[in-house]
């Protein structure tokens, strides 16, 4: 009866607060007294953390990072309706990488970027391809890469979640993109929504703070008394730790999200106060908060770019890409520059990805369809080769011509840079050992510096 009463007290205090759904039940699967404590890696790591920028909807490689010139044979008037890059392109002055004119700021930092032009999608549908990029499986519910990294490495700051997702809107695939699935729920991503209240119930009303402090003291006393009689129960210790982290977040998180602490020149670097165009207006906030979370020890941070329509799914009019690019170009380039000037780019991986590319042929009046056979992603920092282009496509952007990269290869290479062997990072579930790369994946050594 005493144990049941204690459980009710804990649930009443935290069920609507910071804890992730299912935490109380799924944490019982943990065999680590502190499941988010920093852990040793399989081998020497090149990077300590990862910031993933996900562009929802399928960005056209032809109009961005693999520009194909517009010629008289590709003006859309022929029977094949081919259409080249609509926006023009120029090379980076130091490494020569050609980038569309809708990304002028990113083009200026491409000498810090390892560009993959030969990525192959796992599916041609949005939800399936999005889940493939995040979990390695387009068809079955599996833990996200952020959850795997949290499970494998833990995190440096015990007062903040190990895996944070900054998402004004959810992408295709919904919450599964940051779900922990069969991994302990403490490794699930914590969603942050840009604005005045990034995490619901983060700040206790002033009138209840003293009462909350008293309640937390009571919970700590009950926890300790309960644990003293069960010191062999590591799962219980893990659950207690999760409550402590939730309470500490009320002190640590508001400070991390407070951008008034940033000097004017940093705010200007990210374009925080500039006018934006439609969806994506908060992306400068997302990028600057990502840098602040990274320097405070958060292990995996994902930024969802838009998620609502119009997103990058430009079936009707490719000119939509211009406004979307405007909103993210300066903040993304600023994140690279800012991390470098702080000495953090060397041990931070930035991954920019989308679910697939878009067809070289017109769809509708001036749009493009889904294209899984080739598209572009890029990585910066974390030991990836700067100013490098991996793989190539044919002259119209329809097929990969050299060095194709599958999603499992990308995941295996990222884990390698974080110090993890993708074949050894496993979790026993339903009678078998699961891993992010399933039974696939090769480290793409040509991407590594």
Q: Residue 366 contacts by C-beta under 8 Å, 6 or more apart in sequence?
A: 76, 83, 316, 317, 318, 319
Helix and strand counts by DSSP (H, E) for the chain? 11, 16
What is the C-alpha to C-alpha distance for residues 263 and 141, in angstroms, rounded to an integer? 43
Ranges in the chain, pLDDT < 50: 1-32, 234
pLDDT at 36: 85
Q: Would you state the pLDDT for residue 13?
A: 43
Yes or no: domain 36-198+259-447 corresponds to CATH 3.40.720.10: yes
Q: Is the dihedral of CA 118, 171, 157, 232 positive or negative?
A: negative
How far apart are alpha carbons 283 and 293 in whole angstroms? Answer: 15
- Position 215 scores a pLDDT of 65
**Residue 217, pLDDT score:** 63
- In the prediction, which pLDDT does 225 show? 74
- The pLDDT value given to residue 19: 39
Whole-Å CA distances, 226 to 96, 221, 236, 244, 339: 64, 9, 9, 15, 44
- Element of type H or E holding 55: strand 49-55
Q: What share of the chain is helix, strand, coil (3-state, %, to 5)?
A: 35, 20, 45
User: What is the C-alpha to C-alpha distance for residues 205 and 42, in angstroms, rounded to an integer?
Assistant: 44
| Domain boundaries along the sequence of the chain | 1-30+204-256, 36-198+259-447
Interatomic CA distance for residues 79 and 284, integer angstroms: 42
- The per-residue pLDDT for 195 is 78
Pairwise CA distance, residues 422 & 444, whole Å: 13
DSSP calls for 128-146: HHHHHHHHS-SSS----HH
Instruction: Give the residue from 301, 294, 384 showing the smallest Cα distance to 343.
Output: 294
- CA pair distance 355, 162, nearest whole angstrom: 24
> pLDDT value at position 6?
42
pLDDT at site 185: 83
């Amino acid at each position: 009866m005493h144990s049941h009463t204690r459980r009710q007290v804990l649930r009443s205090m935290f069920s609507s607060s910071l804890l992730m759904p299912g935490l109380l039940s799924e944490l019982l699967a943990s065999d680590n007294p502190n499941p988010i404590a920093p852990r040793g890696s399989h081998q020497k790591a090149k990077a300590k953390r990862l910031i993933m920028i996900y562009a929802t909807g399928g960005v056209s490689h032809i109009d961005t990072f693999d520009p194909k010139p517009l010629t008289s044979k590709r003006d859309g008037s022929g029977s094949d309706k081919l259409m080249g890059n609509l926006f023009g392109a120029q090379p980076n002055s130091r490494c020569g990488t050609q980038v569309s004119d809708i990304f002028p700021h990113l083009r200026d930092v491409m000498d810090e970027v390892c560009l993959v032009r030969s990525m192959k999608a796992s599916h041609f549908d949005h939800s399936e391809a999005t889940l493939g990029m995040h979990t390695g499986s387009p068809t079955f519910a599996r833990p996200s890469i952020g959850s795997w990294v949290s499970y494998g490495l833990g995190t440096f700051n015990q007062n903040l979640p190990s895996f944070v997702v900054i998402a004004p809107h959810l992408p295709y695939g919904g919450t599964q993109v940051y779900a922990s699935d069969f991994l302990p729920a403490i490794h699930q991503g914590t969603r942050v929504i840009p604005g005045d209240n990034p995490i619901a119930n983060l700040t206790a009303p002033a009138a209840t703070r003293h009462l909350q402090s008293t309640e937390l003291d009571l919970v700590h006393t009950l926890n300790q008394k309960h644990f003293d009689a069960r010191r062999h129960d590591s799962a219980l210790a893990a659950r207690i730790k999760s409550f402590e982290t939730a309470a500490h977040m009320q002190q640590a998180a508001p400070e991390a999200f407070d951008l008034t602490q940033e000097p004017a020149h940093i705010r200007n670097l990210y374009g925080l106060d500039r006018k934006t165009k439609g969806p994506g207006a908060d992306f400068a906030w997302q990028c600057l908060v990502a840098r602040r979370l990274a320097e405070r020890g958060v292990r995996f941070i994902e930024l969802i770019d838009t998620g609502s329509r119009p997103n990058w799914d430009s079936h009707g009019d490719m000119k939509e890409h211009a406004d979307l690019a405007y909103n993210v170009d300066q903040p993304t380039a600023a994140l690279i520059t800012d991390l470098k000037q702080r000495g953090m780019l060397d041990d931070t991986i930035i991954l920019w990805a989308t679910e697939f590319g878009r067809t070289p042929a017109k769809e509708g009046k001036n749009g493009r369809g889904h294209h899984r056979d080739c598209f572009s992603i890029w990585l910066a920092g974390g030991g990836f080769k700067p100013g490098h282009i991996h793989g190539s496509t044919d002259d119209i952007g329809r097929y990969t011509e050299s060095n194709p990269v599958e999603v499992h290869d990308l995941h295996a290479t990222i884990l390698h840079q974080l110090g993890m062997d993708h074949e050894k990072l496993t979790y026993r579930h339903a009678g078998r050992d699961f891993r992010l790369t399933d039974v696939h994946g090769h480290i793409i050594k040509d991407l590594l510096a």
